[in-house]
Amino acid sequence: KQEVTQIPAALSVPEGENLVLNCSFTDSAIYNLQWFRQDPGKGLTSLLLIQSSQREQTSGRLNASLDKSSGRSTLYIAASQPGDSATYLCAARNSGNTPLVFGKGTRLSVIA
Amino acid sequence: GAVVSQHPSWVICKSGTSVKIECRSLDFQATTMFWYRQFPKQSLMLMATSNEGSKATYEQGVEKDKFLINHASLTLSTLTVTSAHPEDSSFYICSALDRAAQETQYFGPGTRLLVL
C-alpha cells in the first residue's frame, strides 16, 4: 500500500529565499505525483502534476522533480514570498483507477 | 482544468441529524469519484471510492452504514453522514476522476461540517 511522507513538517524562511520541500513514497510504481497548496480552512489548489514518464514540471517560480527509482519528489520554490505561506501537500497515485494518497504536508511560513 | 463543485460549502447541525453533501463534476463525466476527510491540521484521508451505478468501496475503519455514498449519475455523487455526532465534524472533500484527461483527479472546494 502506497505511503507518502513529507519532510519537514513545518518550515519558516525569510522572504526571498529559495527552498526545497521533500516528498518520499514507498511504492515506486507510481502513475503520477501531484503537488497541492492548501491555505488555512480552504480546499486544495493543484500546483504541479508529474506523470510517471516525466522527470520534472515547472510553473513560474515552482519546479517539481520526480525520481521514481529512489521514491522521491521535491518541490522547489524560488524567491519565496509571504504569499507563498501555506501548507504544501504531496500526493501519489499507483494507477489510473486508484486515488491519490496524500502526505501530511509541509506547513510553510515566509516571513517578510 | 475541469471543475468539481460541492454543496453545501459548510453546514452546522445538531447531533443525531443526517447531513447530505453533493459533489458534481460540472464539465466532464466522472464514472469514479473519491471522498476524503480532513481533520484539523491533518492530511486528507481517503474514506471511499464511488463508482457510478455500483456500491462504493470503503477504506478500512470507515463505517459504510454511517457514511452513505450514492453515485447515481455520471456527474453526481452524494455523501450522507447519518446520525452525525461531534466527532464527525471535519472537512469533507470530494474528487472526480476525468478519464478523458489522462485520468486526472479534480478536487471540489470541500464541505466543512460542524456537529453540535
pLDDT tens digits, one per residue of B17-73: 999 999 999 999 998 999 999 998 888 999 999 998 889 999 999 999 999 999 989
Note whether B107 contacts A44, CB cutoff 8 Å.
yes
Tell me how many degrees the CA angle B36-B42-B44 measures, rounded to the nearest 5: 20
Note whether B44 contacts A89, CB cutoff 8 Å.
yes
Q: What is the pLDDT of residue A78?
A: 98
Output Rg (C-alpha) for chain A, integer angstroms: 13
Q: Tell me what the mean pLDDT of segment A65-70 comes to.
A: 95
Q: What is the pLDDT of residue B25?
A: 95
Q: What is the pLDDT of residue A43?
A: 92
Which three three-digit cell numbers place residue A111?
516571513
Note whether A97 contacts B32, CB cutoff 8 Å.
yes
Asked whether the predicted pLDDT for residue B1 surpasses 80, the reply is no
Asked whether the predicted pLDDT for residue A97 surpasses 90, the reply is no
User: Which of A32, A96, A105 is nearest residue B43 as measured by Cβ atoms?
Assistant: A105
Asked whether the predicted pLDDT for residue A15 surpasses 90, the reply is yes
CA distance B9 to chain A (A): 10
Q: What is the pLDDT of residue B61?
A: 94
Asked whether the predicted pLDDT for residue B77 surpasses 90, the reply is yes
Closest CA to A3 of A100, A106, A107: A100
Q: Tell me what the mean pLDDT of segment A44-59 comes to.
A: 95
Continuous segment of H or E residues that includes residue B59:
none
CA torsion sign for A88, B69, B25, B23 is: negative
Chain A residues with CB under 8 Å of a chain B CB are 31-32, 34, 41-44, 46, 49, 51, 89, 91, 93, 96-97, 99-105
Note whether A46 contacts B43, CB cutoff 8 Å.
no
- What's chain B's average pLDDT? 93
Q: What is the pLDDT of residue B39?
A: 92
Q: What is the pLDDT of residue B104?
A: 86
